[in-house]
Each structure stands twice: as structure tokens, then as C-alpha cells.
Amino acid sequence: MGGGKRTQTDHDIRWAATGVFLLVVLLGAWNTDDGYFGFVMARNLAEGHGFVYNIGERVNVSTCPLFDLILSVFYYWFRNMPLVSIVLCTLYSLAAYSILIWKICKQRWQVFVVTVLLCTSICFISFTTSGLENSLLFFEEALFLHLLVTNDTYDRKKLFQMALVCSAVLMTRMDAGILLFAVTAYCFLVKRSCGICSMFLAGLAGLCPFFGWIVFSVIYYGVPFPNTYYIKVNTGYPLDEYILHGLEYFLISWGYDTALITFCLLAVVLLFLHGQWKYRMLALGICLKLLYVIRIGGDFMVGRHFTDLYFVSVFMVIDLCYEKESFHIGKRIVSRQYACIGCAAVCVMLTSVTRLTVKQYLWPVRQDSCTDERDYYFPTLGMIPHYLTKVVKGIDSSELTWDAQEVLDSKASGNQGDLLTWAPGLLSFQHNRDFYMSDSIGLGDPLLAKLPAVYTEVWRVGHMKRLIPEGYPQSLQTGENRIADKSLHQYYDILLEVTRGRIFSKDRLYKTAGMLFGKYDYLLDEYQNHLEQKTEEVINGG
């Protein structure tokens, strides 16, 4: 790695670059509405109601449990969830950036290129805050990559550290493990400098937190994965539509933020050309993650699922460009500095040009499936606009984000809960302490997550509406099972026992095991058959 001893000027440049990065992050600091679903769970845990969404019902809507668990600790002390989220996200992102420029960057040009690339990527800066798990992933992946590039072989201690970081990544977001799986397996199986037993024990010890979380989820919630997972996969939509949707997400993200995808592909090429197989395994992980994002239909937040790949790619390109003295382009030899700086400049320029083009021509057409969430939420949930509005006008701008009248009317009617037209995260955070909130999307609804979605030609990932069973809204309003269909009525009774019964009661544990192994799926099938029969009767009768 080399680089020699740093001068005071080198340190001053790094501190100045850190200040620039921090300033850019804070100027764009915000919370997305999606983050408030996790905020609800963090708040409920801190206030003694359990790690749940609607109080009294054990349902997990957090795709990033580690992030929200940490959030709950700081909320317990400071009681300002939006600010705590922004501060924590900023610290995570700053820590990831600091590892890169202080531990990896050996020369000033590297610090400059890293800062330019990270600060000018629209999507990366958007998710350095946002209240989602991205910033924590940046930090965890920086720790992992630092461990990867600074060691050629891995003893028991290093393997334990690697497994522990992987465990944290999996607890932050399970599918993020796709990126690290191949390279971690290679380091454990091929690059270890200890015996098989030591390797196995180090891996098992490091992964214990993640395994513990899975066991806890099965016992506490009755399922191993968050409710949002079942909402997204249990739709009945054809695979080819998911793939087309994912390709569209990939291309829109590329057009909206050129550097975001370009550096991922550049990193794949450089890592595969590198002589060491551990780097090739990391390149394989990047490719697998890109394919996975396409397979799941992408996301409704432009670039979100590519930001951690972008950080990893910048990290590795900068590191490899320092190791390689020069590049051969035809008969010309180009120095590593000029090659990397030139690539960064082109990416920044193309990002500016293509974003203007995409927003002008493509965005109005695809606003329904993929958007820049910060554009919409920043005026009310951005840190600076929020506090300026509070100081100047004395208004809490977050209350202007959504109209809460439907919730207030339902509460005034004496309902215990309701199936609302729209129950976004922010409204739930503001109103579901004493009121059960759900909507036809069902992100926090354990029953609707088990039912197929209503097919529409235009759809957004995670926002597919369910057909509401007859009597279900009344069930939520009264707290009694009033579902009309006998099969679904029986299934809901079982589900209520799993999500609301005493955790360690014999009956609940039996029913939890039955649900895990599909014992009661026949009831859902019967309900679906009843719906199809009714549809045929209506058609024939018409």
C-alpha cells in the first residue's frame, strides 16, 4: 500500500475534505417517510411497548432492525426521533468516509477524487441520511473492505472480525449479505491461516448476533423475516414483470446519477482484472447484487439499492488505482492519477447532463414507479427547512406532509383502529400510539401480507394494494374477528394468536410452528377459491 509518512499539509487537506463532506451531507439532511415505519418500532421499544409496529400486535416492519435498535437507544435519551436519525446517519456516513480517506487514500489526489465522487453523486448524498439503513451499511462495508485490503491471509481473530461485520450487515439489511457472501466464503476457505476447527468457531461466533436475531424473530413475531418482505414477494405478479421493472429501475438510476452505476461496472472490471481471487470474488458479489436488485423489481426510490455498491466501488477503484502504477490505453501510458481523475470528471459531467435530461423527459412518465423521494419530502422533512419553518413561522413542517383528517375522524368515531385509504409512516408515527393503523398496501398488516395483490399494469415495488376481505375493516375497528369468509376467518383467528397471544403459551407456539411450515396455508387457498367462484358467479350472472 505504501504512501510514506504524511505531512501536516496532508492532514490539513484530509480535515478540510472531511469538513466539505460533512457540510454537503448536512445541507441535504432529511428523513424519508419510509424511514418512519422503523421510527415507530424504535419509539415503541424505547417507550416499553416492545419492538412492534402497532402496539399490542407483534409485527416487524423494519427491514433494518440493527439500525432501528440503535435508534431506539438514543431516542430513549433525547426523545427527538427525526433529529436523532439525522445525527446517527450523518455519523455513520462520516465514519465510512473517514475510513476511506484516512486509512485507504495514501496521496492527496485520492482524497480529492473520493470527495468529488461521493459529494457529487445525487443518490449517494441523498442516502447518507434519509432515516434508512444505507448510512449504516456504508460504515459496515468500509470496516469490511479495510479488513479485506489490508490483509493477505486471515487468522482466527481476523476471521472472527470479518464474520462479526457480516453479522452486522445482515442485521442491518439481510439482502446486503449478497454482496459479501462470495468474498467472505473465499477468505474463510482459501485465505485462512488457521485450522478448520478454528475457522468454523470464529465464523460461528461472529455470526451469533445474526443467528440470535433470526431465532428471536421466529419466537417473537412468528416469522423469520420482516412483514415488508412478505408484502413484496407475496403478490402473485409474474416474474418477467419484476425483471422488466428492475431493468427499468437500473436504467433510470443510471440516467439520473451516471456515476452511481458507472463506477459499479468499472469496479467489476478492475477487480476481475486484478490478480487476486479475493478481489474477483468481491466483483462477483457486486454482479450478484446488481442482478438481485433487477430480480426483485428494483425500488421506488431512485438509486437507493445501488448506493452501497457505489461506495464499495469507489473504495476499491481508489485502492486499486494506487497500487497500479499506470494504465495502457492503446500505445499510450496514462498515469493512475490522471486516469482516475479523468474518469471522475467525466462521471460528474455526465451525471449533471443526464439528470437534467432524465428529469425533463423521462421522469414525468415514470413518476408512478420510481421517484427521487428527497425532492418530495425535503421541504417538510429536510433538517434545514424543518427548523427554519419552526423558527420563522412557529410551525412543525412535518405535520404538513400528509393530511391526517381521515385518522382523526376515525378516532373521533370511537374506533380502536381502521383500514385507512392511506397509512404512511409519518402518519403512523404521529397517531398510532393508541390507534391501530393499516391500509390496503398492508406494510404493517400481518393478514394482508399473506394475500395476493390486485394486479395493475402500473405498479410500485412495495405498494401493491390488496383486495380487502369482507368484514376486515370492521375487525380492525372493533377488535373482534368479523371476517365473513369462513376459511379466512379461521386463518385470522390463528394469526391473532400468533401475533397477539402470550409469547410462550403452548397453543401459540404450536400455531407458530404450524404457520412456519405451511400447515394453515390450505385456508388461504380455500379463501382464494371462494373469491374466484364469486367472480365467476358475478360474470355469469351479468
Note the pLDDT tens digit of each residue in 465-475: 999 999 999 99
List b or e across 224-257, with b for residues whose CB sees 16 or more CB atoms inside 10 angstroms: eebbbbbbbebbebeeeebbebbebbbbbbbbbb
State residue 354's pLDDT score: 61
Q: What is the pLDDT of residues 292-349, one digit of tens each?
A: 999 999 999 999 999 999 999 999 988 887 655 554 445 555 555 555 666 666 666 6
- SS in 3 state form for 289-317? HHHHHHHCCCCCECCHHHHHHHHHHHHHH
- pLDDT-derived band at 7 (thresholds 50, 70, 90) equals confident
- Model confidence at 174: pLDDT above 80: yes
What's the whole-number mean pLDDT along residues 374-402? 92
Q: Is the pLDDT assigned to residue 365 strictly greater than 50?
A: no
Q: Which residues, at least 6 apart from 51, have a Cβ–Cβ distance to it below 8 Å? A: 41, 44, 45, 60, 65, 68, 69, 72, 220
Return the pLDDT at 259.
Answer: 84
| Residue 77: pLDDT over 50 | yes
pLDDT at 344: 64
Query: Grid coordinates representing 149?
Result: 485490503
Task: List the end-to-end C-alpha distance of the chain, in Å, as a whole number.
Answer: 76
Residue 56 has pLDDT above 70, yes or no: yes
Q: How high is the pLDDT of residue 345?
A: 65
CA 536 vs CA 352, 452, 468, 480, 523: distances in Å: 54, 18, 18, 30, 20
Listed residue (71, 99, 50, 27) closest to 378, CA to CA: 27
Q: Which of 277-291, 377-391, 452-466 has the lowest mean pLDDT?
A: 452-466
What's the average model confidence in pLDDT over 143-169?
95
Q: What is the mean pLDDT of the chain?
A: 89
Grid cell digits, residue 34: 419510509
Distances (CA, A) of 234 to 227, 251, 442, 457: 11, 25, 12, 17
CA separation for the pair 11, 102 (Å, rounded):
9
pLDDT of residue 358: 58
Cα 507 to Cα 519: distance, rounded to the nearest angstrom: 14
* Residue 130: how many other CB atoms lie within 10 Å: 27
382 DSSP β-pair partners:
30
**What pLDDT does 362 receive?**
52
Res. 290: pLDDT tops 70: yes
**What's the grid cell of residue 475?**
375487525
In angstroms, the CA 232 to CA 170 distance is: 19
pLDDT at 337: 57
pLDDT value of residue 341: 61
**Residue 364 binned pLDDT confidence (cut-offs 50, 70, 90):** very low
| 217 neighbors 225 (Cβ within 8 angstroms) | yes
Asked if 503 and 220 count as a contact pair (C-beta separation under 8 A), the reply is yes
On the question of pLDDT at 437 being above 90, the answer is yes
Q: At what angle do helices 506-516 and 196-220 cross, to 10 degrees?
A: 110
pLDDT at 329: 47
- What are the grid coordinates assigned to 22, written together? 460533512
Instruction: Please answer whether residues 286 and 309 qualify as being in contact, where contact means their C-beta atoms are separated by less than 8 angstroms.
Output: yes
Whether 367 shows a pLDDT value over 80: the answer reads no
Phi-psi region of 442 (alpha: psi -120 to 50; beta: other; left: phi over 0): left
Count the neighbouring beta carbons within 10 Å of the beta carbon of residue 153.
Answer: 11
Q: Can you name the residues that pair with 326 across neighbouring β-strands? A: 335
Model confidence pLDDT, tens digit, residues 98-119: 999 999 998 888 898 899 889 9
Q: What percent of the chain has pLDDT over 90?
A: 72
Q: What is the pLDDT of residue 425?
A: 93
- Locate cell 418530495: which residue? 376
Residue 1 pLDDT > 50, yes or no? no
Contact 415, 477 (CB under 8 A): yes
The reported pLDDT for the residue numbered 135 is 97
Give yes or no for a contact between 252 and 370, defined as CB atoms under 8 angstroms apart. Answer: yes
Residue type at 47 in one-letter notation: E
| Spatial contact of 271 and 186, defined as CB atoms under 8 Å apart | no
If you average pLDDT over residues 381-401, what whole number do you get?
A: 92
Mean pLDDT computed over 344-356: 63
Mean pLDDT of all residues in 223-235: 91
Q: What is the pLDDT of residue 258?
A: 82
> Band of the pLDDT at 415, cuts 50, 70, 90?
very high
d(CA 135, CA 141): 10
302 touches 370 (CB < 8 A): yes
Helix, strand, or coil (residue 5): coil
Q: Does residue 180 carry a pLDDT above 70?
A: yes
